Structure 1
Amino acid sequence: MLIYVESKAFPHRTFVVRVQLTDTIARVRAQILHILYEVGFENHQFRLRFKGEYLRDAYTVSDYNIVDNGIIKMVSLGNNDEDASDTLTSSNGSVSEAVSYGLLPHIKNALKREVNVFEQREKLLFHFKSLLYLHFLAGCLCFLTVYWYGGIWTLFVWLLATIYCPTFTRIGGYVGSQSLYKERYCILYAVGALICLGAALYFCVDQWIVVINHGCKDWEFVGDCSHNIVFTAVFYGFEALLLLVSICIIFILLSNMKIQYGDYVEKYLVQTRDIEDIIKTAKSGRIKEKRIAAFELATMAASGDDNKFRIVAEGGLDVLIQMALCGDEATQEHAVEAIAELITVPVIQENFIEMGGLRNLMALLHSSDDRLVYHIAMVISYVVTDSEDNKHDVITDHGLSDLSRAAHTDNLNNQRLIAGIFLELAFNTEVRGQMASLNTPAQALIKLCRSEDAETQRYALQSLELLAIESPETVRAQESLLEVLLDLPSQIFDAKVLILAGKILLYFAEEQQTCEAILDRPNCKKSLLKYAHTQDSILQKVVIKVIYSMLEIPELRYRVQHKGLDEVLRYIIDNAADRECWDMADQAIQLLDSTGDDSGTIQLPSLSTKEKLDRMAASTSNEKKPFSSKGSNGSSISLRSTLSSVGEGKGIK
C-alpha cells in the first residue's frame, strides 16, 4: 500500500512510500532516507508522527493502524515540533543544512551500502536488456546457419524474456505488473537460457568437428568447409558465450533482488549507538545533543526488554527523569516516551516509583504540549493499573489537582487516558474517599463528561457513580453535573453512557432540593422523554423513579403536573419496555391523579433510593395491573437491583 509523507521542512514536496502492514517504522524511515539521499539531504534527521503520536521504529505499520493512502508527518528531530521546522527553510524556500545534525556514521554507511546495491541492480537490468537486443539479432541470424531451426526457440525465449522483464529504478523502485514475479522470472529465464546454451554448444562443437575433419586445405571453403558450415560453428560459439553472460547476470540479479529497502539500515535505526555513549551525551551534552539522545533512548527502549535493562543498568532511568524536567519540550517528550516504554517492565516500574519519578512527572501535566501530556498520562496509566499501592503515590503531593488540571484539555486522546486514570483511582476505597472529599476531581470528571468521545464519557460517568456511592452529597452539590445529565440524551445515542447517566440522576432525585433543581431546568420534560424514548427498560424505570420521587413531595406535585411530566409517564405506559415499566408508570400516574393525600395507598414511605425502589417492586408484585402496552411480560424485580446488575464489572480495560 502507499502512504504519503509531508513535512514543513520540505514544503513543496510530498514523499510517496510503498509499504506493507508488517513493515516496521524503521523500514519506512529507511525508504524516506533513500528519497532524501536522492535530493541531497541524506543527513537530515527526523521522526514520523501519525494522528499526533510519534511513531516508534520498532513498531509496525499495522500497530498504528495506518491505512492505505494515509498521511503521516515528518518532523525534524532538531526542532521543538513541526511548527519549529520552519527554521529549516531559508528566505528563498531552500532547505538549510545548518540544522541538520547528520546521521550517525553506521547508519550513513548502511544507507550507502543499500544505495550501491540498488544502483548495481539498475545497471544489471540495463545490461541485461541490452543483451536481449543481441539475443534478438542472434535469433534472426540463426536462420542463416545450417541449424536454422535453432532460431525458433531462440526467438521464443527472447520474446518471453522481453515481455516479462521487470523494470527498476533506484528511486522509483519496481514498475509494472511484471515486477510482481521478478524472482520467478529470473529462474524461468535461466532455465530457458540454459536449454538454448546447451543446444548452441552442441551445434558449435558438431560443426567445428566437421571443419576440423575436413581440414580446410588451402583455405578453400568447399564441401565440409563451406562458408555456411564455418559461419554456423563460429556463430553458435558466440551465441553460447552471449547466453552464458546473460545467465551469469540473471543469477547475480536474483541474488541482488533479495535485498529490499531498509534491510541494512533498519537494524541500525532500531538499535543505534552504545547506551553508555548516549547516556553520557544526555548528561553533559548541549540541548540539541540531549534532544537526540532522548530520542535514541526512546527508540532503543521500544525495541526490546534487553535494551530496557541495559538502559536502567547504565543509570538511564535517573537521566531520563532529569531530561523530562528540563525546559526543552522536545527533549521532555522524548524522555517521557522512553520512560513509558521502560516501566512496562514491572521491576523497572518499581524502581521508577521508588526514585520519586512519578511525583516529578505529575507536575508536567500542567504543560500546554498535548503530546507531552499524552505520554505522561500513558506513564500514569501503566502505574495505576499494575498496583493498588501505586494509586496512593499518584494522588500524593497534589496529584489529584494535577490530574484535574490535565482533564481540561480538548485533545480527545488525552481526555480518554485521564478519564481512565480517574476510574482506576476510584476503584480504590481509600483513594475514592479522598476524591470525594475534594471538589476538583468532580469538576474535572464533569468536564470529561462533555467530551465528544463516548469512551471518555463512559469512564467519567462510571467514576462519578463510584463517587456518588462514596459521598452522594458531593455529587448532588455539582449543579453543572445535573445540566450535563439532562443534556446527554440530546447529544449522544450510546445506551451504555445513558444508563450510567440515568443511574447518577437517581441520586439527584433523593432530596427535595435537587428534585426542585431538576424541575427548574427548562429542558426537564424534553430530557426525561428522550431517556424514555430509548426503549431501554432500565432507562424507563429511571425516568419513572425520578418522577415518582418528585410526586412523593406534596409541594412539587403541582409543578410536576404543570411541567407536563404526566405525558412522559403516559408515553412509557404506551411504549413500555416490559411489564415492570408499565406497572411502575401506572402507579406514578395514579399518585399524580390522587387528591394529594399524603397518606395515599400507593405512596412509598420516605426511604433511601434503594429502599424506595425495593418497596415499589414489592407493591407491584402483590397487586398486578392489566397490561395492554407494547411491552412483553417481565419478572418483578426491583429497579435498583436491575441497575446494579448492569453496573457490575464496568471497569476500564
Structure 2
Amino acid sequence: MIIYVQNKAFPHKTFVTSAKPRDKIARVRAQLLHILYELGKDDHLFRLRYKGQMLRDAFTLQDYEIGDNAILTMMPVGKSQEMLMEIRSISSSEFSFDIHGQPANVKNALEAEIKTFDQREKMVVNFKALLNVHLLFVFLSMMTVHWYSVFWLFVCWLLGVWFVPTYSRIVGFVGNTSHLKIQFCIGVLVVSVACLAATLYFCISGWLFVASGECSDWVENGHCSHKKMYTASFFTLHALTLLLTIVMGVFMLKNFRVDIGDFIERFLVQERNIEQVMEMARTGKVKEKRAAAYDLAAMAASSEDNKFRIVAEGGLDVLTTMALSRDEVIQEHAVEALAELLTIPSIQVTDQWHKQVVVMILTPFHPPSLTPSLTHNDMYLMSINERCVYPRRLDDLVHAAHEGTILCQRTIASIFLELIFNAEIRAQIASRNTPTQALVHLCQTNDPDTLRFSLQSLEVLAIESADLICAQEDLIGLLLDLPFRTVDEKLFLLAGKILLYYAENKETCEQLLSHAQARDALGVFGKSRDAILQKVTVKIIFCCLEYPDTKAKAKHAGMEEVLQYIRDHAADKETWDMAEQSLQLCRSADDLSGLPTLSTLEKLSKMESKHGKLNGSQSSLGSSIKKDAI
C-alpha cells in the first residue's frame, strides 16, 4: 500500500513510501531516512504522527489502523524543534534544521544499506554486460562440432534478457518483471548449472580427444581438425563464463533479499538496558536525559513487562522529576512515559506526593487559554485518574472544547466519554449545564471521531438525566442536520437514539416537529437498510403521535410519508409491524394522551428484545473507545 508523509521542512514536497500492513513503523521511518539521505538531511531526527497520535517504532501499521493512501506527518523531536522548523521553513531553506542528529548505530545501519544498494546497482549493470558476453558465445557456438548447442544457449540468453531487472539506488527496481527478481536469480542459478553441466561434458570430451594423440602438437591429422580443437577451447571459455554467472547469481540472490529498513529497523526498535537508561535519566546531562526520556517512553509503549520493570527501577520518581524539567523535549517524553505507565491499574499512583505531582503535570492549573496546547497524552491521562476530576478541571475541559483545535476537540470528546462511564463523575457532570453545552458544541464539528465520542457521551448523559438533554435546544438542529453532513449510519443511529428523548417529551417533541429539516432527516434515517435504525425512526414518529396536537403537527410535517416508506421497504418483519401500527395510529382519530407512556429505556428494551442492544453495552462501548484513544 502507498503512504504519504508530509514534512513542514519541505512545504512543497510530499514523501511517498510503500509498505505492508504488517510492517513496523520503524520500516516506514527507515524508508524516509533513505529519502532524507538523498536530500542531504539524513541527520534529521523525527517521529511520525497519524491522526494526532505519535507512532511507536515497535508497532505495526495494522496496529494503528493505517491503510492505503494514509497521510502521515513527520514531526521533529520536541515541541521547540517543531516551532523552530516552522520558522525556518518560512524564512530560509539553508538552515540546518536538526540539533542532535541520528544515533550512531542508526547512521551506521543506514550507510550499510546504502552501500548494499550501491553494490546491487553495479551488479545489475555488470550482469547485463555479462549477458552480452553470452550472446557472443551463442554466435560462436555455431562454429563448434556441437553446433546444435546454439538452440538452448539462445533460449537461455533470451530469457535472461527478458527477465533481468533494472535497478538504481534512487529509483529502485523498475520494469514489468521487477517483482520477479528473486525468482530471476533462482532461475539464473538453475539454468547456469544445467548449461555448465553440458558445457563441461563437451569440454572434457573435447580435451580427451585432443589428448588421445591424434591432435598432438596441435597439428591436423586424420580425424583431428581445427574445428575440434576450437570446440574444446570454446567450451572451456564458456564453462568459465557460466561459472562466473553462477557466482554473480549467488551474490545477486543474497543482495536482492535485502529490503529498505532490514538493517535500520532492528536499531530503531531495539530495547536498551533499563538500568542503564534509568541511570542516565538520573545523572546524565541534558542531551543524555533527552535520549533517556525518549527511550523510556518507547519502552513503556512496547510492552507491559517493560512498564513494570521501569516502575521496579524507581521510574515513577525519575519520570515525575523529568516531567517537571524546563527542557521541553525531556518534559514531553517524560509525560508520554507516565501516561503509558498509568494505563496499568496496578501502577496507578497511590503515594500522595506522586499523586500531587502527576495532577500538577497532567492537569491544567494554568489559565484556561493554554489548555488547547496540551498534548494527547496529557489530556488522556486526566481521564485515567478519576480523582483528578474536579469542577475546576471540568471548566478547563469545557474551555478546551470551545477553543481547541480539531485534534484537541477530538481528545476532549474522548475524555468526556471516558469520564461519563464512571457513575460518580457522570452524576457530577449531569449536575452542571456547561459540560453538556460543551458536548453540544463539539457536535458542530465535521470530524467523525469527535462526533461519535460526543454523541455517545450525550446518549449516556440522557440515561442519567433526560431533562438535561432536552434542555439543549440547539442540539435538535444539530442532530437533524447530521444526515446532511455525513453518511455514517452509526452516527445516524446515535442521533436517532438521542432524538427519542426529545420525542417522548411533549414540549421538545413540538420543537422537533417544528424544525424545517425534521421530515428530511427522519426520511434519511428511514431509508437506511439497518433494521435497528429504521425501528428507532419509527419509534420517534410514534412518540410524536401520542398527543393530538403533536399528532397534527406530525401529519402536517409529512411523517406519514416517512412511515409509508419504511413500511414498504422494511428490513425485517418486526420493523414492518411497527411501521404499520404507527400508520394506523397516524390515520386514526383516537386520542392516546390518556394512555400510559413508556420511557425511552422501556421502548428501547422492547425494541431490542429480538435484535439485541442498539449499539452494544456500555462496557463494550467503553472498551472500544479506550482502544481508539490509545
Shorter-chain TM-score above 0.5 = yes
What secondary structure sits across from 1:174 in the alignment?
Answer: strand
1:482 is matched with 473
What residue identity is the alignment partner of 1:395?
V
SS at structure 1 position matched to 2:15 = strand
Q: Which is further off, 401-410 or 109-118?
A: 401-410
Letter of the 1:565 counterpart: K
Matches within 5 A, 1:178-189: 178-189=177-188
Q: What corresponds to 1:641 in structure 2?
A: 602
C-alpha distance in 1, partners of 2:17/2:460? 44
Q: Distance in 1 between matches of 2:431 and 2:186?
A: 76
TM-score (norm 1): 0.77
User: Compared with structure 1, are the counterparts of its residues 370 and 253 closer, same or farther at alpha carbon in structure 2 (3 Å cutoff)?
Assistant: farther
- 1:52 CA drift (Å): 3.1
What is the aligned partner in structure 2 of residue 110 from structure 1?
109
Query: Which stretch shows the higher mean deviation, 488-497 or 169-178?
Result: 488-497
5+ long unaligned stretches in structure 1? 384-389, 510-514, 552-559, 592-601, 605-614, 618-636
Amino acid in structure 1 at the alignment position of 2:376: Y
1:189-242 per-residue CA deviation (whole Å, 9 max, x = no partner) reads 212111211122122222222222226556534445532222222221111111
Residue matched to 2:100: 101
Report how far residue 439 of structure 1 moved. Answer: 3.7
Q: Is the 8 A contact 1:207 1:232 kept in 2?
A: yes
**Does the C-alpha gap of structure 1 residues 639 and 161 become closer, same or farther in structure 2, counting only changes over 3 Å?**
closer
One-letter amino acid matched to 2:435: P
SS in 2 for 1:63: coil
Shift of 1:250: 0.5
Per the alignment, do residues 326 and 408 of structure 1 end up closer, same or farther by CA in structure 2, a change over 3 Å counting?
farther
* Residue 130 (structure 2) aligns with: 131
SS in 2 for 1:57: coil
What corresponds to 1:465 in structure 2? 462
- Cα distance in 2 for partners of 1:305, 1:463 equals 31
Choose which of 403, 409, 414 in structure 1 pairs with 2:397. Answer: 403
d(CA) in 2 for partners of 1:639 and 1:68?
A: 42
Counterpart-to-counterpart distance in 2, 1:143 and 1:529:
87
Matches within 5 A, 1:71-86: 71-77=71-77, 80=80, 82=82, 84-86=84-86
Q: Return the alpha-carbon distance in structure 1 between the equivalents of residues 434 and 602 of structure 2.
A: 31
In the TM superposition, residue 89 of structure 1 has moved relative to its aligned partner by 5.2
Q: Deviations over 1:71-113 (max 9, x none)?
A: 322222255365531455596523516x341111111222222
Q: Pick from 538, 543, 553: which aligns with 1:565?
A: 553
Bigger mean CA offset, 348-357 vs 422-431: 348-357
Residues 616, 638 of structure 1: 8 Å contact kept: no
Aligned residue for 1:355, secondary structure, equals helix
How large is the RMSD of aligned CA atoms in angstroms?
Answer: 3.8
Query: Partner residue of 1:630?
Result: none
Contact map agreement 2:512 2:518 (CA 8 A) in 1 = no
Measured at CA, do residues 203 and 432 of structure 1 come closer, stay the same or move farther in structure 2, by a change above 3 Å? closer
The within-5 A match list for 1:171-250 is 171-214=170-213, 216-217=215-216, 220-250=219-249
Give the match's secondary structure for 2:302: coil
**Amino acid of the structure 1 residue aligned with 2:61:** V
Q: 1:12 to 1:429 in 2, by over 3 A?
A: closer
Report whether the alignment pairs 1:540 with 2:541: yes
**Aligned mates of 1:130, 1:573 — CA distance in 2:** 78
Matches within 5 A, 1:369-408: 372-381=374-383, 383=384, 390-391=385-386, 393-396=387-390, 398-408=392-402
Q: Which moves more between the two structures, 233-242 or 422-431?
A: 422-431
- Say yes or no: does 1:616 pair with 2:613: no
Deviations 1:390-448 (A, max 9, x none): 53x14247443343333335555554554444344344443333333334333333333
Q: Hey, what's the Cα distance between the residues in 2 that align with 1:172 and 1:160?
A: 24
Q: How does 1:46-57 map to 2 (within 5 A)?
A: 46-57=46-57
1:504 aligns with 2:501: yes
Partner SS for 1:73: strand
Q: Is the 8 A contact 2:542 2:582 kept in 1?
A: yes
**CA drift at 1:375:** 2.4
> How high is the TM-score relative to the length of structure 2?
0.79
Please give the per-residue CA displacement for 1:288-338, whole angstroms capped at 9, x wherever unaligned.
Answer: 665554433333333333433333333333443444455566655444433
Structure 1 Cα separation of the partners of residues 375 and 84 of structure 2: 19
Is the 2:7–2:75 contact (alpha carbons within 8 Å) kept by the matching residues of 1?
yes
Letter aligned with residue 543 of structure 1? C
Cα distance change, pair 39–431 in 1 and its aligned pair in 2 (3 A): closer
**How many residues are matched?**
578
Paired with 2:38 and 2:46, the residues of 1 have a C-alpha distance of 16
Aligned to 2:266: 267
Instruction: Answer yes or no: is the 8 Å Cα contact 2:371–2:396 preserved in 1.
Output: no
Q: CA deviation at 1:380?
A: 4.4
- C-alpha separation in 2, matches of 1:189 and 1:287: 55
Separation in 2, partners of 1:254, 1:537: 66
